[in-house]
Amino acid sequence: MIPCGSAQAAGFSNFTQGAGPMGVANASVAHAEGLSSLFYNPALQLEFNGFNLDLGLTLVSPEKELDSTRTGQSYESEHNICTPMHLSASYRLSERSSLALGVNNSFGLRSEFPEDTIFRYLTTSSELTTWDINPSLAMQLHERLAVAVGIRAVRSEATLEQMIPLQAFAQADGRQRFKGDATGYGWNIGATLNPVEQWTIGASYRSQVELDLDGDLHYDLPKTAPTMLSSLFPATSAAAELTLPAQFFVGIAYAPSPQWVVEAALRYEHYSSYERLSVTTALPVAGKRQTFIPKNWDDVWGYMLGGSYQNAAGYRFSLGYLYEENPVPDATFEPGTSGMDKQTLTVGIGKQLGRLSYRLSYAYDFYQDREIDNDGPAAVLNGSHSQDNHSLAMTLSWQL
């Protein structure tokens, strides 16, 4: 199972958090499209009575390509299927209070390219997996106002690989591989307000999380490499710092009848907190123990619109549209993340089967091609970058 997510959102955020929300393009901040919507607003748990459980996963098939102006060749990513999962559970404590637990791959990325690409010295493989464990408590403070608070424990694993040039030593390329893990902590809050009948406003905030990755750095050198190279590139322990951005969601939903609901929502991500990636090694590597890789990402917005309809037979149909900005500036563009503006069309279907129900949703992401024209070492990425994704989400729900 590869719970990656960069193919689905700005930077390395993952918003494939349930087939219900996906069906309305994640416009599920002010109303619930199943219990999975708690990821977008924990206060929505008060829409559910008794004990409830949502469980599912998403199949994501990303395809990336660079048409290089340096070589005139095209470079495509390796084909892989990502499988971010989602689990949500809630228990109604009383008429005015509820407890919930969410377990999600809230951030992630996976990209893999052949080892002969023009940018192989920047990256050949990147993988980031996070498991976000998020208990929350919701209270009905007023008949029209509900609030929720939660804490988050984020467990992360990262693997980064790239080739290293050894032509100066009359050798073929070597390979560098970093693998590390970390645990960070954060919090979240949410609220819903029903100012008038048929209208609901929802908002939530998820704090940034600092991750201090501890791991190991390994080198695969050619068998013919002299002993001097082994001393320049030793196996050593290493540490890296990574900041997961804060996120803010707000939405307004209109339900003209119990069967229909439409919502427009906004999402803000504080990616300017990702200024650089620093790596520190216990032993010197090529004469250095510390490396700073500038990022200087930008804050971004996402715009979501979706609606759903449930008929008398218990079938629920949904449609959605999303537009998402990308946070990556030209100067620090990298093939390992989705650094292109994106539009998404979604469609979903579900069925109520007594205490059980299911939701299935499909999303097609089409990215705006991005032209990169940098100077210096970053010029290896010059050319036209393109990407598209196909995603299928499945969620089973159970109510007691």
Q: Is the pTM of this model over 0.95?
A: no
Counting beta carbons within 10 angstroms of the beta carbon of residue 83, is it exposed (0 to 12), middle (13 to 18) or buried (19 or more)?
Answer: middle
Per-residue pLDDT, 1:
40
The answer to whether the beta carbons of residues 193 and 201 sit under 8 Å apart is: yes
Per-residue pLDDT, 9:
55
The answer to whether the beta carbons of residues 53 and 395 sit under 8 Å apart is: no
Token representation of residue 118: 């023009």
Per-residue pLDDT, 4:
53
The answer to whether the beta carbons of residues 211 and 241 sit under 8 Å apart is: yes
Can you give the pLDDT of all 400 residues of the chain as single tens digits? 444 544 445 678 888 899 999 999 999 999 999 999 999 999 999 999 999 999 999 998 888 899 999 999 999 888 888 889 999 999 999 999 999 999 999 888 778 898 889 999 988 888 888 999 999 999 999 999 999 999 999 999 999 999 999 988 889 999 999 999 999 999 999 999 999 999 999 999 999 999 999 999 999 999 888 888 888 899 999 999 889 999 999 999 999 999 999 999 999 999 999 988 888 999 998 888 988 888 999 999 999 999 999 999 999 999 999 999 999 999 999 887 878 999 999 999 999 998 999 999 999 998 999 999 998 888 999 999 999 889 999 999 999 8
The answer to whether the beta carbons of residues 365 and 342 sit under 8 Å apart is: yes
Token representation of residue 44: 């929505």
Per-residue pLDDT, 297:
93
User: 299 to each of 8, 11, 179, 192, how far by Cα in Å?
Assistant: 17, 10, 28, 25
Per-residue pLDDT, 78:
84
